[in-house]
Every structure is written in structure tokens, then in C-alpha cells.
Structure 1
Amino acid sequence: MKKSPLRRSNKPVDFQQKQKQQLMLAVGFYAVLVLIAAMGNLSWSIVGWYALIGAVTYLVYAKDKHAAQQAKWRTPEATLHLLSILGGWVGAMMAQNYLRHKTKKSEFRLAYYLTVLVNLATLLYLISGGDLSQF
């Protein structure tokens, strides 16, 4: 059976929904960091670090995307993962989704998710003051 030429795919809607969800996740993460810092359980410099490294990571992804389109020198994947593990995973997530960059390679995505887990575990350690027994 032929598809009607007027029928549209759900993919753009799904993509836009995913963008909104990830934006809410990013805003929520930073809001929680600010709340934890306001409660005195996290240094404001760490909140600033997360904001800075997130922005830098997004820009590095954007530069890499542009280089890929121009067939120029690319940023090594290890560098992208290092930025994520250092706290730039939110910027990486936003860049992957909004720039549609580094979304196809399953090995890259798996490594990215591992960097998120390692970073969040480190953040939990910092919030706990090194005493994870309270959790």
C-alpha cells in the first residue's frame, strides 16, 4: 500500500521532544547543583566549573562538527570523552542532540554514557565530603 504524499513522519516530532527532554535534564541538573551549593554541601567553584566545562564542551563539539562537514582535522574522540568525564557531559549531551553530532556510533555513545556515570559518581563523592556511608 502506498503512503499518502501528505502523510508526515513522526521523526521530527520525536526529535523535537527529545531536544526538550534533554534541555529539561540539563536545566534540572544545573538547578540541583545550585541548590546543593546553596545548602552548603558543594563549593560554588564546582558549580562554576560545571557551567564552564559544559559550555567549552559544547563549543568543542560544534568545532568538531564543522570540521567533519569541511573534511578538516577532527577533535580526537578521547578528547571529547575527557571533557565529558571532567564535567562537560551536559554540554556534550546538548551538542549531540542539537547539532546531531556523534549520535550514530554505538561505541562512542557507550563510552559517553560511561563518562557520565563516572562523573556523577565523582560528584556524589564530592557532595558527601568523601563519606559515602551517609547515602
Structure 2
Amino acid sequence: MAITRSRRAAGRGSYLAIAAFAVVYLVGAVYWPRPLWVAGAYLVTSMICFAVYAIDKRRARFGGWRVSERTLLFWGFIGGWPGAIVAQQVLRHKTQKKSFREAFWVTVFFNVVLFVVVSTPTFDRLVAQAIN
């Protein structure tokens, strides 16, 4: 029973990553506005990522051909990680395998770092210089 409670607590903690990213996104938007499509891209990739997790969960239950972990990690890395977190908790999928969880959080870290770097005025200046 204690293991179940600690897993649930860890799962709820995963939702904090989404909330923290939302704060970073909103604070960043105040200082360095981004086009609305950026938020839309996170939403769409999250929905696709959730669907891919759901497909994999269904295939795991019924013995079908599974979605590769590489594919799941890819969708998380390109911005679908909030949807992946929700899928992991709601569907109780991909929460047991430690190596996958570690790889997943590495992809989340790199996605957020990349987002922060690309969202700064310094990046905008570098792109403008490269174009000129």
C-alpha cells in the first residue's frame, strides 16, 4: 500500500512540471512575446502524444504491435511531454520502467531548455544576424 501511495504522489508531482512550464511560458511571454502558434504547437503535440500513449497502452493490453519507446520519447521531446505526463498518469502507462522514465525526463529537460533558449531576445538577434 505504501508503494502505491508513493507512486501516486510521484505521479501528482509530474503534474507540477506542467504547471512550472506554464509559469515559465507565461512569464517569458511578458518579457519576450512568442507567436500564439508556439502554445498551439505544444497543445497539438501533447494531444498527439497522449493518443500515441493510448494506442500503445491498448496494444499492450491486447497483445498487438507496440509503439516503440523511441517514438514515445520523440513525441515528448518535440513538445508533447505535457500530454505524455497526463497519459502516463491517467492511463497508468510507462510508469514502471525506470530506464524509460529517466529517458523521458531527460527529453523534457532538453525540450524546456531549448524552449527557453529559443524564446530569448539573444536568440532572435543571432537569427537576425545569420539572415543578414
Classify the TM-score, shorter chain: 0.7 to 0.9
Correspondence 1:74-89 to 2 at 5 A: 74-89=66-81
Aligned-partner residue type, residue 34 of structure 2: L
Correspondence 1:107-118 to 2 at 5 A: 107-118=99-110
Answer 1 or 2: which has greater helix percent.
Answer: 2
User: In 2, distance between residues paired with 1:103 and 1:17?
Assistant: 12
Q: Which residue of structure 2 aligns with residue 4 of structure 1?
A: none
Does 2:19 match 1:43? no
Does 2:92 match 1:100? yes
Does 2:14 match 1:22? yes
Aligned residue pairs: how many?
123
| Alignment TM-score, normalising by the size of structure 2 | 0.77
Q: Which runs of 5+ in 1 are unaligned?
A: 1-8
| Alignment TM-score, normalising by the size of structure 1 | 0.76
Does 2:59 match 1:67? yes
Q: Which runs of 5+ in 2 are unaligned?
A: 125-132
Taking only aligned residues, the RMSD between alpha carbons, in angstroms, comes to 2.1
Question: What do residues 40-79 of structure 1 show as CA deviations (whole Å, max 9, x unaligned)?
Answer: 4322211111111111111110111011001011111111
Query: CA separation of 1:106/1:13 partners in 2, compared to 1, >3 Å: closer, same or farther?
Result: closer
User: In 2, distance between residues paired with 1:23 and 1:124?
Assistant: 19
Q: Which residue of structure 2 aligns with residue 5 of structure 1?
A: none
Question: What do residues 17-46 of structure 1 show as CA deviations (whole Å, max 9, x unaligned)?
Answer: 444443344244235424433544322211
Query: CA separation of 1:54/1:36 partners in 2, compared to 1, >3 Å: closer, same or farther?
Result: same
Q: Which residue of structure 2 aligns with residue 128 of structure 1?
A: 120
Q: How far 1:123 sits from its partner (Å)?
A: 0.5
Between the aligned residues of both structures, percent identity stands at 29
